[in-house]
């Protein structure tokens, strides 16, 4: 017999929020504190922002009995990561005038602003809206920013996958006008008019929900790490449909083996014209069956492991007018970006530039400003935290090249660094247990010295670090994963695949930077000496017996 468990606190907050309004508008007018009301800080996520405090200053301010140094992080919704140069200039202006002067490209093809004071929130939202941008549903228990393979080298196929990402994002948006009312002062819905949320439901989803659209051979979006992934199937140069992948996710909690990362399962294939309906019903099955009492068990991956993948697929099929067909063959080669220039047959070209951990400031910010002022092409943010200057016409190539060189934006990174990602972590992330973005670059410098010794400096090896086990840089599908435990201390995972299809496994727990270098160095040496033709480091880590192959999420914590 099922025991009825109480709903989580967040369910109560959502239910009482009047479709995500809460008392946010009132809280914005209160100048005696830099913070918002506790319940509202859960609701603001649906509006695309988080209340944070500067953790570098926390202890000192505590000693002086001062309020924490509150500020806000705002995340934009940019389906497929595409901005016009004009929009880029607006983002930069808002980052400088309303935030901490940096732009942070995220692992989901969008921008985060950090360090925004309460009084700057509304001008920032209005500034974005003036350039057709918004932050709706960028966070919260909803479908988040939909990402798609960023590399535009096959323009028509890229237009199809990025168009699908945009349509999915629009279709699954909350219907409440709360965002427009609070941030744009839109008139309140007149009495008697009942708003509804026909897809998400009036208490929204049990937990966050993420969608990625991948265009093989690129798995830059890590399609298997998503609640829902759509893999484009290309036949005779056109997309004939999408394989449907469900139940991926990264987050877990240290010491709680009932939480685990999981790679998604392929449950079938749909035609392009049915992709939105399929997505809607994967969402509604999760809406109706997801766990609303325990948020640590509420993601789709747990719903699926509880009921079994066949039952889940059957429930989705029951709701579809046209059932899923058997999945089709596909192959990925890598999760990375291709750096530098790629030319198209029509003379236009794209330049992918390396942005270390997605943080844009100083000279990089200034250089991108000049590039955006040229007002050519598009700015495409990648899910590897890099940036593509896309569709540069032949006539502008020289001007772009000159600016790239002048600002040092054309400089290539070596193999490990160009395949690295680190999450934000300290000082803004309230959940960070250790450094990440501020630490990984130095650690990589030390690892590069070791790689040099064995002739591996130019080899592509993926390395990802997060400051806690939530997995924001998707560390559990990388060849080398580092996950924060306490300040300066990390768990080291090995054995992920280069194409993002396999989870890695814990190799050593609780190691500091010196230990990480000392542990990896002999593995690099034996890899250089013994690798098979074309063998990736992650595959080698399994073949040499360092770690066992992880088959499923349920198997992630097993160490045979
Ligand atoms: Fe994340 C929470 C940053 C991608 C899993 N994530 C957070 C918060 C908001 C911390 C918080 O809840 O207070 C972090 C804000 C830090 C800061 O100061 O900016 C944060 N996540 C990020 C970003 C900025 C990391 C980055 O360096 O780029 C990424 C923003 C993505 C975006 O634009 O939407 C980011 N987060 C991810 C990903 C990767 C992905 O989606 O492809 C994951 C793993 C995939 C997944 O969802 O399973 C991820 N973030 C989490 C989780 C764990 C969720 C779970 O199922 O357990 C949390 C914590 C939570 O939700 O309770 C979290
Ligand atoms: Fe913060 Fe953890 Fe996400 Fe890093 S992985 S940004 S530390 S929640």
What DSSP letter does each residue of 514-540 carry, written as one string? HHHHHHHHHHHHHHHHHPPTT--HHHH
Q: Is the dihedral of CA 189, 191, 197, 198 positive or negative?
A: negative
* Centre of ligand 1 from the C-alpha of residue 187, in Å: 33
* Joined tokens for residue 116: 């925004």
CA pair distance 396, 375, nearest whole angstrom? 10
The pLDDT assigned to 189 comes to 66
Any domain includes 50: yes
* Centre of ligand 2 from the C-alpha of residue 433, in Å: 8
Closest C-alpha residue for ligand 2 atom 3:
472
**433 and 400 fall within a common domain:** no
Residue 421 CA, closest ligand 1 atom number: 27
* Centre of ligand 2 from the C-alpha of residue 77, in Å: 19
Q: Which of 415, 444, 461 is the last residue of a domain?
A: 415
User: Sorting pLDDT into bands at 50, 70 and 90, what band is 441?
Assistant: very high
* Joined tokens for residue 399: 């001007």
Mutate to test the pocket of ligand 2, among 423, 437, 487 (most ligand atoms within 8 A of CB): 423
CA pair distance 407, 387, nearest whole angstrom? 15
**68 and 148 fall within a common domain:** yes
Ligand lying nearest the CA atom of residue 386: 1
Q: What is the DSSP string of 243-312?
A: EEEE--B---BTTBTT---B--EEEEEE-GGGHHHHHHHHHHHHHHHS-SS-GGG-SHHHHHHHH-HHHH
* Centre of ligand 1 from the C-alpha of residue 473, in Å: 8
Residue 436 CA, closest ligand 2 atom number: 4
* Joined tokens for residue 231: 């893999």
CATH of the domain at 371: 3.90.480.10
Which neighbouring-strand residues pair with 444? Answer: none
430 lines ligand 1 (CB under 6 A): yes
* Centre of ligand 2 from the C-alpha of residue 465, in Å: 9
CA pair distance 338, 148, nearest whole angstrom? 15
Any domain includes 31: yes
Q: Are 556 and 260 in contact (CB under 8 A)?
A: yes
The pLDDT assigned to 45 comes to 98
Residues ≥6 apart with Cβ < 8 Å to 246: 227, 228, 229, 264, 265, 267, 282, 300, 304, 309, 312, 313, 316
The pLDDT assigned to 195 comes to 83
Closest C-alpha residue for ligand 2 atom 2:
468
Ligand lying nearest the CA atom of residue 139: 1
Ligand lying nearest the CA atom of residue 468: 2
**Whose CA is closest to 301, among 293, 313, 309, 310?**
309
Closest C-alpha residue for ligand 1 atom 18:
429
The pLDDT assigned to 362 comes to 97
Any domain includes 334: no
Q: Which residues are catalytic?
A: 75, 144, 208, 210, 423, 429, 468, 472
Look at residue 1 and tell me whether its pLDDT is greater than 50. no
CA pair distance 213, 232, nearest whole angstrom? 7
Mutate to test the pocket of ligand 2, among 45, 431, 485 (most ligand atoms within 8 A of CB): 431
Look at residue 3 and tell me whether its pLDDT is greater than 90. no
470 lines ligand 1 (CB under 6 A): yes
Any domain includes 276: yes
**401 and 524 fall within a common domain:** no
Ligand lying nearest the CA atom of residue 295: 1
* Centre of ligand 1 from the C-alpha of residue 471, in Å: 7
The pLDDT assigned to 344 comes to 84
Interval 186-198 mean pLDDT: 76
* Joined tokens for residue 498: 């280069």
**390 and 448 fall within a common domain:** no
Q: Which of 415, 444, 459 is the last residue of a domain?
A: 415
* Centre of ligand 1 from the C-alpha of residue 463, in Å: 18
User: Sorting pLDDT into bands at 50, 70 and 90, what band is 172?
Assistant: very high
CA pair distance 219, 230, nearest whole angstrom? 11
Q: Which of 393, 415, 437 is the last residue of a domain?
A: 415
**372 and 501 fall within a common domain:** no
Closest C-alpha residue for ligand 1 atom 54:
251
Look at residue 192 and tell me whether its pLDDT is greater than 60. no
| SS3 labels along 164-220 | HHHHHHHHCCCCCCHHHHHHHCCCCCCCCCCCCCCCCCCCCCCCCECEEEECCCECC
Q: What angle do CA 260, 264, 268 make, to 5 degrees?
A: 155
Mutate to test the pocket of ligand 1, among 107, 210, 428, 474 (most ligand atoms within 8 A of CB): 107
Ligand lying nearest the CA atom of residue 250: 1
Question: Each residue of 107-138: pLDDT tens digit?
Answer: 999 999 999 999 999 999 999 999 999 999 99
**269 and 292 fall within a common domain:** yes
Any domain includes 445: yes
pTM for the whole structure: 0.98
What is the number of structural domains in the chain? Answer: 3
**236 and 315 fall within a common domain:** yes
CA pair distance 552, 218, nearest whole angstrom? 22
CA pair distance 416, 459, nearest whole angstrom? 7
Give percent of the chain above pLDDT 70: 98
* Centre of ligand 2 from the C-alpha of residue 528, in Å: 33
**405 and 432 fall within a common domain:** no
Look at residue 202 and tell me whether its pLDDT is greater than 70. yes
Q: What are the respective helix, strand and coil percentages of the chain, to the nearest 5?
A: 35, 20, 45
50 lines ligand 1 (CB under 6 A): yes
Residues ≥6 apart with Cβ < 8 Å to 120: 98, 99
Any domain includes 3: no
250 lines ligand 1 (CB under 6 A): yes
* Centre of ligand 1 from the C-alpha of residue 510, in Å: 22
* Joined tokens for residue 492: 């080291």
CA pair distance 105, 385, nearest whole angstrom? 5
Interval 61-80 mean pLDDT: 96
CA pair distance 22, 186, nearest whole angstrom? 16
Question: Each residue of 290-326: pLDDT tens digit?
Answer: 999 999 999 999 999 999 999 999 999 999 999 999 9
Look at residue 4 and tell me whether its pLDDT is greater than 80. no
CATH of the domain at 47: 3.30.413.10
The pLDDT assigned to 188 comes to 76
Which structural domain, as residue segments, surrounds residue 498? Answer: 420-555
Give the H or E element holding residue 421.
strand 420-422
CA pair distance 256, 379, nearest whole angstrom? 41
Any domain includes 336: no
Question: Each residue of 330-358: pLDDT tens digit?
Answer: 999 999 999 999 998 888 899 999 999 99
Residue 473 CA, closest ligand 2 atom number: 5
225 lines ligand 1 (CB under 6 A): yes
Closest C-alpha residue for ligand 1 atom 63:
470
Any domain includes 331: no
* The residue to which tokens 């948020």 are assigned: 295
The pLDDT assigned to 347 comes to 83
**347 and 490 fall within a common domain:** no
**408 and 455 fall within a common domain:** no
Residues with CB under 6 A from ligand 2: 423-425, 429, 431-432, 436, 466-468, 470-472
Question: Each residue of 225-259: pLDDT tens digit?
Answer: 999 999 999 999 999 999 999 999 999 999 999 99
Mutate to test the pocket of ligand 1, among 141, 224, 472, 475 (most ligand atoms within 8 A of CB): 472
Q: Are 77 and 129 in contact (CB under 8 A)?
A: no
**85 and 216 fall within a common domain:** yes
Burial category of 70 from C-beta neighbours within 10 Å (exposed 0-12, middle 13-18, buried 19 and up) = middle
Residue 433 CA, closest ligand 2 atom number: 7
**86 and 160 fall within a common domain:** yes
**Which parts of 308-455 fold into alpha helices (H)?**
309-319, 362-373, 397-406, 415-418, 440-453
Question: Each residue of 396-439: pLDDT tens digit?
Answer: 999 999 999 999 999 989 999 999 999 999 999 999 999 999 99
């Amino acid at each position: 017999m099922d025991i009825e468990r109480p709903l989580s606190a967040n369910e109560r907050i959502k239910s009482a929020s009047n479709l995500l309004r809460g008392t946010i508008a009132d809280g914005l007018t209160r100048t005696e504190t830099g913070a918002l009301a506790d319940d509202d800080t859960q609701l603001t996520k649906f509006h695309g922002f988080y209340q944070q405090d500067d953790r570098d200053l926390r202890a000192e301010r505590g000693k002086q009995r001062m309020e924490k140094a509150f500020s806000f992080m705002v995340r934009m919704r940019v389906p497929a990561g595409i901005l016009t140069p004009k929009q880029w200039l607006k983002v930069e202006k808002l980052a400088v005038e309303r935030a901490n002067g940096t732009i942070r490209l995220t692992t989901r093809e969008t921008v985060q602003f950090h360090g925004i004071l309460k009084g700057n929130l509304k001008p920032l939202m209005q500034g974005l809206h003036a350039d057709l941008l918004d932050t709706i549903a960028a966070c919260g228990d909803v479908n988040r920013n939909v990402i798609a393979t960023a590399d535009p080298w096959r323009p028509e196929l890229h237009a199809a996958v990025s168009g699908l990402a945009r349509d999915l994002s629009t279709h699954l948006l909350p219907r409440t006008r709360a965002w427009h009312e609070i941030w744009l002062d839109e008139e309140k819905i007149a009495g008697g008019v009942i708003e509804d949320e026909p897809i998400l439901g009036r208490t929204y989803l049990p937990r966050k929900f993420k969608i990625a659209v991948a265009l093989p051979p690129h798995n830059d979006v890590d399609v298997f790490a998503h609640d829902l992934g759509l893999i484009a199937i290309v036949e005779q140069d056109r997309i004939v449909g999408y394989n449907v992948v469900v139940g991926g996710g990264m987050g877990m909690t240290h010491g709680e083996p009932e939480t685990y990362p999981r790679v998604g399962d392929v449950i079938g294939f749909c035609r392009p014209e049915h992709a939105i309906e399929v997505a809607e019903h994967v969402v509604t099955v999760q809406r109706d069956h997801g766990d609303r009492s325990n948020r640590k068990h509420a993601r789709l991956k747990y719903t699926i492991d509880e009921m079994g993948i066949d039952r889940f697929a059957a429930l989705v099929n029951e709701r579809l007018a046209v059932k899923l067909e058997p999945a089709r063959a596909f192959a990925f080669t890598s999760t990375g970006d291709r750096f530098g220039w790629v030319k198209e047959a029509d003379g236009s070209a794209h330049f992918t530039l390396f942005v270390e951990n997605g943080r844009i400031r100083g000279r990089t910010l200034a250089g991108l400003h000049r590039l955006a002022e040229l007002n050519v092409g598009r700015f495409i943010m990648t899910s590897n935290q890099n940036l593509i200057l896309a569709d540069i016409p032949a006539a502008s190539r020289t001007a772009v090249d000159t600016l790239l060189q002048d600002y040092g934006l054309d400089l290539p990174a070596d193999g490990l660094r160009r395949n690295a990602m680190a999450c934000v972590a300290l000082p803004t992330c309230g959940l960070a247990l250790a450094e990440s973005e501020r630490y990984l670059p130095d650690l990589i410098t030390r690892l590069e010295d070791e790689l040099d010794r064995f002739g591996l400096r130019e080899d592509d090896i993926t390395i990802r670090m997060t400051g806690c086990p939530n997995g924001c840089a998707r560390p559990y599908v990388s060849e080398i994963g580092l996950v924060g435990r306490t300040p300066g201390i990390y768990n080291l995972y090995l054995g992920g695949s280069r194409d993002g299809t396999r989870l890695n496994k814990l190799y050593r727990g609780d190691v500091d930077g010196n230990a990480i270098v000392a542990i990896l160095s002999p593995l690099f040496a034996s890899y250089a000496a013994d690798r098979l033709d074309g063998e990736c480091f992650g595959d080698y880590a399994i073949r040499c017996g360092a770690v066992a192959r992880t088959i499923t999420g349920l198997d992630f914590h097993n160490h045979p």
